[in-house]
Homo-oligomer: A and B are copies of this chain.
Amino acid sequence: MSKTEANHQKRRRGADLENAVLSAAWELLQEIGYHDFTMAEVAKRANAAKPVLYRRWPEKSSLAASAILKFGPKLDVKIPDTGSLREDLVDFFSQLIKIFDMFGTEKLKGLVTDRLKSIPMEKLFTAPNSKNELQTAVEQILKQAEKRNELQLSKLSPRVLHLPSVLFINEVVSQEVVTKEVIVAIVDEILMPVFTAKK
């Protein structure tokens, strides 16, 4: 029992500890992906006890999501303004797939399906205590289109505004990889008709 070193003279708390855990989680996620990622290993890496994790995140998928939101590629996607709704949508979603490709959808699939147990699809891109950035961007693109008389925003319901997120997640969950062609098809066959429907 002779601990040769003064192991933990200082005990981390609050934000300090939280950051250490999130960093460890982020490292692990990059190294081995969500599927093989375990809570025990995160705890070990962060030199923290498992209950510390569960005190902050109710479940594994929640911790993983937090780590990605904190350290993952930022969703600082440029909102395009090409002069055409169609082009703007294609451009915007093309930027999004790059982020997913960094991980590979295969590695994210498990996380997404686990998250769906707790939150609805359209909220998957929403950080706690913040706006859904994807949603905001879509609305911005639609506003631009309204100025060009391509559509009437007031006629679009929340369900319709969430459609891009839903379709995108569906592809991530269903396909190995989301290509540019897939995005073009989604925009031309689904989003454009819905957004510009005369009603």
Chain A residues packing against B (C-beta within 8 Å): 109-110, 113-114, 116-117, 120-122, 157, 159-160, 163, 166-167, 170, 173-175, 185-186, 188-190, 192-194, 197, 199
Contacts and interface: CB of A to CB of B under 8 A. Distances in A.
21 contacts: A109-B117, A113-B113, A113-B114, A116-B116, A120-B173, A121-B170, A121-B173, A121-B174, A122-B174, A159-B189, A160-B189, A163-B190, A188-B199, A189-B194, A190-B194, A192-B197, A193-B193, A193-B194, A193-B197, A193-B199, A194-B194
Given A190-B194, A193-B194, 13 more contacts: A110-B117, A113-B114, A113-B117, A116-B173, A120-B175, A121-B174, A159-B185, A159-B186, A163-B190, A166-B166, A166-B167, A166-B170, A188-B199
Nearest to A186: B159
Nearest to A119: B174
> At the interface, is chain A mostly helix, strand, loop or mixed?
helix
